Copies of this chain bind each other. A is one copy, B any other.
Amino acid sequence: MYKETNIRSIVKGISWRVVATTTTIIIVYLFFGRLDLAIAAGLIETVLKVALYWGHEKIWQKIHWGKKRIEPFNLWFTGLPLSGKTTIADKVYTELEKLHIPIERIDSKDIRELVPNIGYSREDRNRHMLRIAHLIKTLQNNSISTVASFVSPYRESRKAIREMVKNNIVVYVKADIETCKARDYKGVYEKAMNGELQNFSGVNDIYEEPQHAEIIVDTDKMSADEAAQVIISYVKKHYVK
């Protein structure tokens, strides 16, 4: 973040005044051919304009019309492993960044890589969700919106997010489990089916479908780009009007 120093603001203000007043003096001189009067007019104008500009700002500070409050929101992508959450969330994030709103991307993978052994049991997952909710809430305190993608298989953990976070938009990335298995480039479904991976949502642990998702994108019926467009339209309509 850059901040303008006071001295820069003052020098910049003076430099503009010099340009502006000189222009006025030259124009008046060219019109009327009296340099002394042109200078006098220019100087009076300078004094007056500084005062008028101040007054103009004061009046506008009282006018609230045309100011819009940007409320931080949280796009919460939930869905089976390999349903396409990260891909779509990345696209949405890239598009939203272009709107010049402060926004942050949070992905399950990044945090689990950083903190190994978070665990996948119901209790571990729920504690994890509380910490993620805390992270999002802290960002929202600072007007920062979030694009978060987590399997978040349990209704109770998604509920904890909804309760702690403002303007929560649940995006259910729906995909047939067979589609997810077909996309299994990581081999995780295979491992889960062999029993090598425990607590794997959709195989040996439950994925509870969201019942109150604000947005449902069916990746069996639309492309990732189409899904991203649906989500961006929703955000633009409700939050970044």
Contacts and interface: CB of A to CB of B under 8 A. Distances in A.
A67 interface: yes
A134 interface: yes
Contact of A67 (B3, B60, B139, B144): B3
Interface string A111-149: 100110110000000010011001100110111100000
Interface of A: 1-5, 7-9, 11-12, 15-16, 19-20, 23-24, 27-28, 31-32, 34, 37, 40-41, 44-45, 48-49, 52-53, 56, 60, 65-70, 72, 102, 104, 106, 111, 114-115, 117-118, 127, 130-131, 134-135, 138-139, 141-144
17 contacts: A1-B69, A1-B102, A3-B67, A3-B70, A4-B66, A7-B66, A8-B65, A11-B66, A12-B60, A15-B56, A24-B24, A24-B45, A28-B31, A31-B37, A32-B37, A104-B141, A111-B134
